[in-house]
Amino acid sequence: MAGIAYEQALANLRKSDYASPPELTDKQSLLKKYHPDYQEGSTQKLVVGANKGDACPTTLAKLLQSNAPITDADLAGALVINTEVLVVGAGGAGCAAALEVSAAGRKVILATKLRIGDSNTVMAEGGIQAAVGEDDSPQTHYTDTLKAGHLCADKKLVAQLAISAPKTIRWLIEQGMSFDREDTSSLSSKLLRKKPGGATRARILSFKDYTGVEMMRVLREAVELDERIIVWNRCPLVELLSDEDGNCVGGVVYDLSTHRFMLVRASKVILATGGTGRLHLNNFPTSNHYGATADGMVLAYRIGAKLREIDSYQYHPTGVAWPSFRLGGLISEAARSAGAYLVNGEGKRFIDELLPRDIVSSAILRECAEGRGVEREGKVGVFLDVPDLERRNPGILKDRLVSLSHLGKQCDIDLTKEPVMVRPTLHYQNGGVVIDENGMTTVPNLYCVGEMSGGIHGRNRMMGNALQEIITFGRRAGEHAALTANQYPAPKVGLFHLYNWQRELILSNVPTDVYGPILFPEYGNFDFHKEISLRTRTKHSVKSNNDSH
């Protein structure tokens, strides 16, 4: 793919009059021709499980139809721990859920693959949506969200999101979270509101351009100060536990530090393990954190949970296109919301920057495909004209776009003088596990919240609804699980669901030597199944040597 040479594109940009972009008259044609979700050969039909026959990205389908990496033999002698609620994933959704379980006086274990706070939550920069303005309402928030998602979302979930949003903001403030104010010198000033792409009202609330970091700060502190919440870092979930009726009754956790399994028997299990960005669907770079490898969705599907919109992903318009070592890094929509223009190699604006993200991303990919992009050292993108934004709003980089300023330094770009090259980056999983208003799945006792859940965003997500979703539904799942949890775990737990699953794989001619979850991306050089096999062989070898004596 070729574009206009960088120096020539830069000269064109500096002569630009920033005329309004042409009006887009056929959004659907643009999406179908250029959005990665619609590209031929990018999906395949699932042949096993609750979504048999549905289209799914090929890379994800391989994992959803994978075999379990463990057997009953691997769990022999494993430590057995009882709790009332097991929460898996310590990003925003998992922490919110654990806090509510604890507040209700229930026993809760919070297990996470990396460390508490290592999640996409901290990478959400732009802000959180809530209808708190006098010119706004939950009804308008609801309508905007449905339209942005192409009318495919679950209306009950969208209504719950919009209605709960103001209450969520109050709760976050009570936890100690800071938000930008209209008057920076007064704490009694109204919250500053910005307009997200695809919205009819200004309802984004933010803290500079690192809102997710601020949110995760207060949630992490609240969890760490809560003595009732037991936190297990570096302890990923590798399988769910079931009873003979197929109900979820706990999970198998693997301690990466000690290389040992732990069987957690729990009345309720809340999965908040995040999305799939590190699978690099369609070979795109990603803005996601290192652990976003679809673990929870793989395990939920294997035990029988229904999924929805699993062929729909969000490619954020403004990922870094150059330099290569920052490829895919996120540039928040806060910059475009503040007025930064997207400009092609000819020095022309080509799309309304605040249209929904899937439209803007498709327009950028069109410019690149048709030769109007900017080419530099083999990378092709378009310009995000930050210097022009700074000229029109002196000090905005220092005061409001702090993360963008840091990114410029990392890329060795003076953003007051030089634009940044951008191109869409794999950002968000629009669909996921089917849930109700309390986060309950189609499998008894199993909840899913956060990015791994589906139905809230339809086929496209609006800026700011992700941070709102993780708190609203994380809290609701925690409250409901605490209310309905049984003090005593199921008397008989095991891997009962795996027997039917493996039989279905064999009958459908699906390879049984593909294992999931993978826990880390392929380039992480970590093969969990090989590690378990090595561990088992070592254990048997030691036993054999002892027997010989």
| pLDDT value for 535 | 67
497 within domain boundaries: no
Q: Is residue 12 part of a domain?
A: yes
**Residue that is written with structure tokens 């010119």 in the block:** 135
Which of 465, 484, 503 corresponds to the end of one domain? 484
Beta partners for residue 229, in sequence order: 108
CA 201 to chain CA centroid, nearest Å: 25
pLDDT score at 132: 97
171 and 282, same domain (yes or no): yes
Shared domain check, 204 and 173: yes
Tell the burial category of 549 from Cβ atoms under 10 Å away from its Cβ (0-12, 13-18, 19+): exposed
Give the pLDDT score at 520: 96
Q: Are residues 158 and 285 in the same domain?
A: yes
How far, in Å, CA of 284 to CA of 427, rounded? 10
Query: 226-266, pLDDT tens digit by residue?
Result: 999 999 999 999 999 999 999 999 999 999 999 999 999 99
Q: What is the DSSP letter of 2?
A: -
Provide mean pLDDT across the span 82-98: 98
Residue 20 pLDDT: 96
- Give the pLDDT score at 541: 44
Q: Which residues contact 537 (CB under 8 A, 6 or more apart)?
A: none
Tell me the percentage of the chain whose pLDDT exceeds 90.
91
| Same domain membership, residue 92 and residue 30 | no
Amino acid at 189: S
Residue 33 structure tokens: 């021709």
Amino acid at residue number 520: F
Residue 157 is inside which H or E element, if any?
A: helix 155-175
Q: Give CA–CA dist 484/358, Å, rounded.
A: 39
Pairing of strands 341-343, 307-308: unpaired
The distance of Cα 384 from the centroid of its chain, to the nearest Å, equals 24
Q: How far is CA 479 from CA 48, 104, 250, 310, 471, in A?
A: 33, 7, 18, 27, 12
CA nearest 342: which of 285, 421, 397? 421
Look at residue 536 in the predicted model and tell me its pLDDT: 58
Task: Judge if 182 and 284 occupy the same domain.
Answer: yes
Q: Tally the C-alpha atoms within 13 A of residue 80's C-alpha that lie toward its C-beta.
A: 12
8 Å CB contact between 79 and 102: no
pLDDT of residue 418: 96
User: Is residue 196 scored above 80 in pLDDT?
Assistant: yes
What is the arithmetic mean of pLDDT over 29-55? Answer: 96
Does 540 score more than 90 pLDDT?
Answer: no
Q: Examine the pLDDT at 544 and tell me if it is beyond 80.
A: no
Write down the pLDDT at residue 518.
96
Domain check: are 344 and 370 in the same one? yes
Instruction: Give the pLDDT of residue 189.
Output: 87
What value does the mean pLDDT take over residues 420-430?
A: 97
- At 316, give phi and psi (nearest 5°): -65, 135
Nearest to 466 by CA among 220, 275, 191: 275
In a domain, 514, yes or no: no
Q: What is the CATH number of the domain that holds 317?
A: 3.90.700.10
**DSSP 8-class letter at 286:** B
Q: Check whether 371 has a pLDDT greater than 70.
A: yes
Look at residues 427, 442, 474 and tell me which one is the last residue of a structural domain.
427
Based on the domain organization, do 421 and 434 belong to the same domain?
no
The more confidently predicted of residues 542 and 491 is 491
Mean pLDDT of 141-155: 97
534 in any annotated domain? no
Rg of the chain taking only CA atoms, in angstroms: 24
Q: Does the pLDDT value for residue 548 go beyond 50?
A: no
Is residue 333 a part of any domain in this protein? Answer: yes
- CATH number of the domain where residue 477 is located: 3.50.50.60
Torsion of CA 121, 126, 132, 133, to 10 degrees: 180
**What is the pLDDT averaged over residues 286-300?**
97
Report CA-CA distances (Å) from 403 to 49, 124, 211: 42, 11, 10
CB 460 within 8 A of CB 442: no
**356 in the same domain as 250:** no
Same domain, 186 and 262: yes
Mean residue pLDDT across the chain: 94
> Is 477 inside a domain boundary?
yes
Decide: 20 and 349 in contact? Cβ < 8 Å: yes
Give the amino acid at 182.
E
Of 412, 427, 442, which residue sits at a domain end? Answer: 427
Do 385 and 455 belong together in one domain? no
Catalytic residue among 357, 372, 376, 475: 357
Query: Is residue 512 very low, low, confident or very high in pLDDT (cuts 50, 70, 90)?
Result: very high
Q: How confident is the model at residue 539 (pLDDT cuts 50, 70, 90)?
A: low
Same domain, 377 and 463: no
Q: What is the mean pLDDT of residues 4-16?
A: 97
Whether residues 230 and 109 share a domain: the answer is yes
pLDDT at position 542, please? 42
| Residue 230 counted as domain residue | yes
User: The domain containing residue 330 runs over which residues?
Assistant: 4-34+313-427
187 pLDDT tier (thresholds 50, 70, 90): confident
List CB contacts of 269: < 8 A, sequence separation 6 or more.
85, 86, 87, 88, 240, 248, 250, 251, 445, 446, 447
pLDDT over 90 (residue 365): yes
Structure tokens given for 292: 């976003």
What is the pTM for the complete model shown? 0.95
> Domains in the chain: how many in total?
2
Look at residue 529 in the predicted model and tell me its pLDDT: 86
Indicate if 475 belongs to the active site: no
472 within domain boundaries: yes
